């Protein structure tokens, strides 16, 4: 079992930041509105995610650490309409196969907390009583300790932490109603209190971001676009403030990047590095988010339409900002 999980881990767990992404998405799935991420040595040494979500009952703690046991896909229809963030049921098993991983949880209506810990070649899961408030903590120690080839690919702690910081910022941008805290080597690095979309984008990008940018709100058939984009004269200094979310998930999509670039080339040909925070909402069956295991790629049923929606939406906003 461990070997199969380690192979799967190769797809899901590229680096500490991918662990953070999977675990924070699990916390969001669990309905948490407070998520604390603690990192030591860029995540090489320790990654711990604590949430106040619905928790995992004692009987299911073992299952949560075993591959596919919890997959929420039962048939093709589920696959088509899946909206929840994680659904492949293998992140925890994969992570625990390449680290020393424990899962501690207390659902609200369970009297005590329990901790599960997978050990040894067969990943036998040990259960023991623990102290924990309502919610869940996943602790990942010594990532890739047993897969030297992967460990060699890890960068300096500072670099790995920068990736983690990006992941937390991106997830926080699309979930303003959740408060997030990120610590590195016991030092508080980020803290976002729960708020609305406008204030969250200013917490993350910069103060006055919203008033400097053009607001976009555009509907094109079943595609709804909202967010903020650089308009004439402002906001062209930061390449790093380019955020694209599809159904609340951070995505890298060449087709949409092309639509965005085309809109700027048409309206503001001198603009080189526009900043944007764009949220696209589509019916779940209009896309397949399961193309890449790490899930930052997407395939649209009607790519052309989504491309044109972005192109037209941004073109209109830029045009009106010129007057
Ligand atoms: P998936 O999220 O794809 O179902 P994971 O391996 O990421 O698979 O998680 C396995 C299961 O463990 C989840 O389906 C969920 O039931 C449970 N779980 C994981 N993390 C949490 C959490 N933070 N709070 C509550 N339940 C969790
Ligand atoms: Mg998951």
Ligand 1: residue whose CA is nearest its atom 20? 26
Domain with CATH 3.30.565.10 in the chain: 2-197
CB-proximal residues (5 Å) to ion ligand 2: 26, 86, 91
pLDDT at 65: 82
Domain 207-322 of CATH type 3.40.50.450:
no
Q: What is the pLDDT of residues 224-271, one digit of tens each?
A: 999 999 887 665 555 568 899 998 888 888 899 999 999 999 998 887
Report ipTM (2 d.p.): 0.98
**Which residues, 6 or more positions from 64, have their beta carbon under 8 angstroms from its beta carbon?**
56, 70, 92, 103, 116
Ligand located closest to 94 CA: 1
**Which residues, 6 or more positions from 264, have their beta carbon under 8 angstroms from its beta carbon?**
271, 274, 314, 318
Say which residue, 118 or 70, is predicted with more confidence.
Answer: 118
Percent of the chain scored above 90 by pLDDT? Answer: 59
Cross-strand bridge partners of residue 291 = none
Residue 68 has pLDDT above 60, yes or no: no
Q: What is the pLDDT of residues 5-48, one digit of tens each?
A: 666 665 668 899 999 999 999 999 999 999 999 999 999 999 99
Q: How far is CA 248 from CA 85, 112, 119, in A?
A: 9, 34, 35
| Whether 6 contacts 98, CB under 8 Å | yes
Which of 74-78, 115-119, 180-184 has maximum average pLDDT? 180-184
Residue 181 has pLDDT above 80, yes or no: yes
Domain 2-197, what fold?
Heat Shock Protein 90 (3.30.565)
| Whether 47 contacts 41, CB under 8 Å | no
Cross-strand bridge partners of residue 190 = 182
Kindly give the residue spans of alpha helices, DSSP state H, lying in 58-147. 58-64, 76-81, 91-97
Q: Measured between alpha carbons, how far is 10 from 147 in angstroms, rounded to an integer?
A: 10
* 175 CA → ligand 1 middle, Å: 18
Say which residue, 98 or 34, is predicted with more confidence.
Answer: 34
Q: Measured between alpha carbons, how far is 280 from 137 in angstroms, rounded to an integer?
A: 31
Atom of ligand 1 nearest to the CA of 54: 25
pLDDT at 87: 43
pLDDT at 12: 66
Provide the 3-class DSSP secondary structure of residue 278.
strand
pLDDT at 297: 67
Q: Measured between alpha carbons, how far is 277 from 230 in angstroms, rounded to an integer?
A: 9
* 31 CA → ligand 1 middle, Å: 11
Ligand located closest to 68 CA: 1
Q: Which of 21, 29, 47, 249 to mutate to test the pocket of ligand 1 (most atoms within 8 A of CB)?
A: 29
* 204 CA → ligand 1 middle, Å: 27
223-229/276-281 β-pairing: antiparallel
* 226 CA → ligand 2 middle, Å: 27
Rounded mean pLDDT of the chain? 86
pLDDT band at 69 (very low <50, low <70, confident <90, very high): very low
Residue 86 has pLDDT above 50, yes or no: no
Ligand 1: residue whose CA is nearest its atom 17? 64
Q: Name every protein residue with a CB atom under 6 angstroms from any ligand 1 atom.
A: 22, 26-27, 29-30, 51, 53-56, 64, 70, 72, 86-93, 136
Domain with CATH 3.30.230.10 in the chain: 207-322
Q: What is the pTM of this model?
A: 0.87
* 266 CA → ligand 2 middle, Å: 41
pLDDT at 84: 39
Q: What is the pLDDT of residues 260-318, one digit of tens each?
A: 999 999 998 887 788 899 999 999 888 776 655 455 667 788 889 999 999 999 999 99
């Amino acid at each position: 079992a461990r070997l199969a999980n380690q192979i799967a881990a190769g797809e899901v767990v590229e680096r500490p930041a991918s662990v953070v992404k999977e675990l924070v998405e699990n916390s969001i799935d669990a309905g948490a509105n407070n998520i604390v991420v603690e990192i030591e040595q860029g995540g090489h040494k320790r990654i711990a995610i604590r949430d106040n979500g619905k928790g995992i009952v004692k009987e299911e703690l073992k299952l949560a650490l075993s591959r596919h046991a919890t997959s929420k896909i039962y048939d093709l229809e589920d696959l088509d309409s899946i909206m929840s963030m994680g659904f492949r049921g293998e992140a925890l098993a994969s992570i625990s196969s390449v680290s020393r991983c424990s899962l501690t949880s207390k659902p609200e209506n369970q009297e005590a907390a329990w901790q599960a810990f997978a050990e040894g070649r067969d990943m036998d899961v040990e259960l023991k009583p623990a102290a924990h408030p309502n919610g869940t903590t996943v602790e990942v120690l010594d990532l890739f300790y047993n897969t030297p080839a992967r460990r060699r690919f890890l960068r300096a702690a500072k670099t790995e932490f920068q990736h983690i910081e990006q992941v937390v910022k991106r997830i926080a941008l699309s979930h303003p109603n959740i408060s997030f805290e990120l610590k590195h080597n016991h030092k508080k690095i980020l803290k976002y209190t729960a708020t609305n979309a406008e204030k969250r984008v200013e917490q993350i990008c910069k103060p006055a971001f919203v008033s400097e940018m053009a607001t976009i709100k555009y509907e094109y058939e079943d595609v709804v676009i909202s967010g903020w984009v650089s308009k004439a004269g402002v906001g062209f200094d930061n390449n790093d403030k380019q955020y694209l979310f599809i159904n609340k998930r951070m995505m890298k999509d060449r087709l949409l990047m092309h639509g965005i670039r085309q809109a700027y080339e048409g309206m503001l040909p001198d603009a080189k590095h526009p900043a944007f925070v764009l949220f696209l909402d589509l019916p779940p069956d209009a896309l397949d988010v399961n193309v890449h295991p790490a899930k930052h790629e997407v395939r649209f049923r009607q790519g052309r339409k989504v491309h044109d929606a972005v192109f037209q939406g941004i073109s209109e906003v830029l045009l009106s900002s010129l007057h």
